[in-house]
A and B are shown apart, each in its own frame.
Chain A
Amino acid sequence: MQEQDLQLIRNIIVRAKRWDAFFGVLGVFALMVGVLTFAALFVDMAIQGIPRLDGDFFTSFPSRRAGQAGILSAWVGTVLVMMVTAMAAVPLGIAAGVYLEEYAPKNWVTDIIEINITNLAGVPSIVYGLLALGLFVYQFGFGQSILSAGLTLALLILPVVIVATRESIRAIPQIIREGSYACGATTWQTVRDHILPYSSPGILTGVIIGMARAIGETAPIITIGALTFIAFLPPLPGAGEPPAGLFDWLFAPFTVMPIQMFNWTSRPEAAFQVNAAAAGFVLVLMTLAMNGAAIWLRYRLRKNIKW
C-alpha cells in the first residue's frame, strides 16, 4: 500500500474518531438539558413556594386574600378522588390483565381488546374529560362530583394498570403454572394462589405510576366542570344536619390540587403566583415521591427475584 493511501485512511479514522468523541459530549449535553430544566423548575418552585408552606396553608380554604388562602379543600378533594380512582381502576385493571394473560383464547375478540387498550393509552387526556362530561355527568347524572372525577381518572389510568399487570404476569415462568395444574388446581386457583401473589410487586409498581399520573391530571377534571373555588369540605358520613349518608361525599362538589394551582396561576396578582408555586411544590413532591417509590420497588424486584 502506498504511503499516500495510508495517510488518507489515517485521516478518515481520525475524523471518524473525532466525531465519535464529539457525539459522546453531545449526548451528555442533551441529557443535561433535561436535568437542568428539571433542576430549574424544582429550585424555582421551591424558592418561591417554601416560605408560603406553613401549617395554615394546609388547613385553610382558598380565599380572595392571597395571604390567607390555603389548600385544604384541594388536598382533601385529591385524596377522595384518588380513593375512588384506586377502587375502580385497581380491581378492573388487574382483572383485565389476568384475563388477557391467563384466560384469553387466541381469537379476534382478544385481538380487538388488545388493540383497544393500546389505542386508549394514546388518547389525549382531555378526550376522557369530554367522555366523562357526556357520560358520567349528564347521561348517568352523577353531576360534577367526586364520583365523576374518580371514575374519569380511573378510565384514564386503566391502560397503565393493565399493561403493568400483564408484564409482571408474563415474567412468571411457565413451570409455576404447570406445577399448579399438575396438582389438580383450576385456572382460578392457580391465578389466586400463584400468579397474583408472585406478580403483586410488579402490579403495585404499575398502580403507583398510574396513581401518580392521575394526581397531576388537570385537563379532564376541568372539562367535567370541577369548580375552582370551594370553601367547604365534602360531608362526612353521619355528620351535619340532617346527617349525611355514608356515600354523600361521592356526590359533593370538589376541587383538586392541580386545579387549585391552575386557578392561582391564572390570576394576575403576584401574591397568588406565590400560592401557585407553593401548591405546585407540594404537588411535585407528591408525584416525585410516588414515582420514586415505584422505581425503587422495581429496582428491588429486579435484584431479588431469581426464578
Chain B
Amino acid sequence: MSVTAPMPSLPVAAAKVSERLRKKASRHVAERVIELLLFGAALLSVFTTAAIVYVLVSESWVFFEHVPLKDFLFDTQWTPLFDDAHFGIMVLLSGTITSSAVALVVAIPLGTIIAIYLSEFAPFAVREVAKPFLELLGGVPTIIYGYFALVFLTPLLQKIYPDLPGFNLLSAGLVMGVMIIPYVASLSEDAMRAVPMSLREGSYAMGATRLQTALRVVMPAATSGIASAYILGISRAVGETMILAVAGGMQPNLTFNPAEPGATITSFIVQVALGDLPHGSIGYQTIFAAGLSLMLMTLFFNLLGYWLRKKYREVY
C-alpha cells in the first residue's frame, strides 16, 4: 500500500472554487445595491432643488392668478393683509437693496483689506490665529447679531444721530456687514494664496513693495476667486433674515434711506409666518411669491458669479 500525499482531489478543489465564485457573485449584487443606495443619497440634492422650484412655483402660480404680474412689479404699496390689498414687491425690494448695500459697503472693503493683509502681509502666527477667529465670527447665529444690532448698535448710533428710529435698516445693515466679512475675507484670501509664488517673486525682483505686488499682481491674478467671494457676500446679504427681522423693523416702506425702518423680502416672510395665516389663503401664498423673487435674485447672482469665474479664470 502506497501512502498517498494529503492532496485534495481535483473535484473537491473545483467545488471550492465554484463556491468561492458564487460568493463573489452575491458579493457583486451587494456591491451594486450599495452603490445604488449611495447614488440615491447623492441624487437627493437634485430632488431638493426640484422640490424647492416646485413648491415656490406652484404656490406662486396660485398667487399670480389673483394678482396680476404688472401690479406685483410696479405697485408702490405692499399691504397684502389689509382689506385694500396691494402687492408691490418693489417696497420689499427697496428694503432688501438698501440693507444689502449698507452691508456690502462695510463687508467688501474690510473683507478685501483683511484678505490682502492675511495673504500678503501677516506673519505666520497672526494668520494661524486670525483664520480660525474669522471662522468663529462666521459661526455666530444671526439672531445673536440681530439682538446686538437692536440692543447695542442702535442706541450707540442714536447718540451720534439722535433722530434715528429704534428700528432702522442702517444698524441692521452695518451688523450684517460685519457678519459677512468672514465669508468675503476667507474666500478672497484663499484665491490670493492660490496665486503662484513665482509671480510675487517676479514683482519683488522689480523692486515693488508688498502693497504694490498685492494690488497690481496678486489681485488681478486672483480676480475670478475674489469676484466669487463678493458674489457670495451679496447672496448672503440678500438672503439674510433674522438680523433684519429683529433690528430693521417690519413695516413695509418704499425707501432707499437706511436711517428709516423697513421690511425686506425675508423679514416679511418671517412676519407672516409668525402670525397664523390659514393654509391656502392669499396671505399664505404671498410668502411663496416673495420667496420666489428671493430665489430668482440669488439665482441671478449665482449665475453672475459662475460667469465671472469663467471669464476671469487664470490658469497657471
Residues of A near any B CB (own CB < 8 A): 13, 16-17, 19-20, 23-24, 26-28, 30-31, 33-35, 37-38, 40-41, 44-45, 48, 91-93, 95-96, 98-100, 103-104, 112-113, 116-117, 119-120, 122-131, 133-135, 138, 155, 158-159, 162, 186-188, 209, 212-213, 215-219, 222-225, 228, 258, 261-262, 265-266, 273, 276-277, 280, 283-284, 287-288, 290-292, 295, 299
Contact = CB atoms under 8 A, between A and B. Distances in A.
B42 A23 contact: no
A265 B45 contact: no
B114 A30 contact: yes
Interface stretch (B29-37, B78-86, B219-227): B29-37
B38 A96 contact: yes
16 contacts: A16-B212, A20-B212, A23-B117, A30-B110, A38-B137, A44-B148, A95-B37, A124-B241, A128-B52, A133-B273, A187-B31, A219-B142, A219-B242, A225-B276, A262-B246, A291-B136
Nearest to A260: B143
A301 to B, nearest CB: 13
Contact of B140 (A30, A92, A222, A284): A284
A159 B42 CA distance: 10
A-B interface, 9 closest residue pairs, ranked by CB to CB distance from nearest: A216-B141, A124-B239, A27-B117, A134-B55, A95-B41, A99-B38, A219-B241, A20-B209, A96-B42
Contacts of B195: none
B136 A292 contact: yes
Given A127-B298, A155-B48, A262-B242, 10 more contacts: A16-B212, A27-B114, A34-B110, A34-B182, A38-B140, A41-B144, A95-B40, A99-B42, A122-B232, A265-B246
Interface stretch (B63-71, B87-95, B251-259, B287-295): B287-295
Contact of A130 (B43, B114, B269): B269
Q: Which of B51, B59, B137, B144 gathers the greatest number of chain A CB atoms within 10 Å?
A: B144
Interface string B1-45: 000000000000000000000000001001100110111111111
Contacts of B282: none
Given A123-B298, A126-B291, A216 B266 contact: no
B171 interface: no
Contacts, number: 263
A273 B144 CA distance: 12
Contacts of B302: 119, 122
B152 interface: yes
B273 A258 contact: no
B160 to A, nearest CB: 16
B105 interface: no
A284 to B, nearest CB: 6
Q: Which of B39, B41, B140, B143 gathers the greatest number of chain A CB atoms within 10 Å?
A: B143
A249 to B, nearest CB: 23
Interface of B: 27, 30-31, 34-35, 37-46, 48-49, 51-52, 55-56, 58-59, 110, 113-114, 116-118, 121-122, 130, 132-137, 139-148, 150-152, 175, 178, 181-182, 207-212, 232, 235, 238-242, 245-246, 266, 269-270, 273-274, 276, 279, 287-288, 291, 294-295, 298, 302
Contacts of A24: 117, 121
Given A124-B235, A266-B246, A261 B210 contact: no
Given A130-B56, A188-B31, A284 B144 contact: yes
Nearest to A162: B45
A147 to B, nearest CB: 16
A284 B49 contact: no
B121 A27 contact: yes
B52 A291 contact: no
Contacts of A287: 139-141
Contact of A34 (B116, B122, B178, B287): B178
A66 to B, nearest CB: 15
A256 to B, nearest CB: 10
Contacts of B298: 122-124, 127
Given A27-B113, A218-B141, A125 B239 contact: yes
A126 B239 contact: yes
B113 to A, nearest CB: 4
Contacts of B294: 124, 126-127
Contacts of B40: 95
Nearest to A284: B144
A119 B305 CA distance: 11
Contacts of A92: 41, 44
A261 B147 contact: yes
Given A99-B41, A188-B34, A262-B246, A295 B135 contact: yes
Given A41-B140, A44-B148, A217-B141, A113 B209 contact: no
A159 B49 CA distance: 12
A154 to B, nearest CB: 10
Contacts of A96: 38, 41-42, 44-45
Contacts of A228: 274
Given A19-B211, A30-B113, A92-B44, A129 B141 contact: no
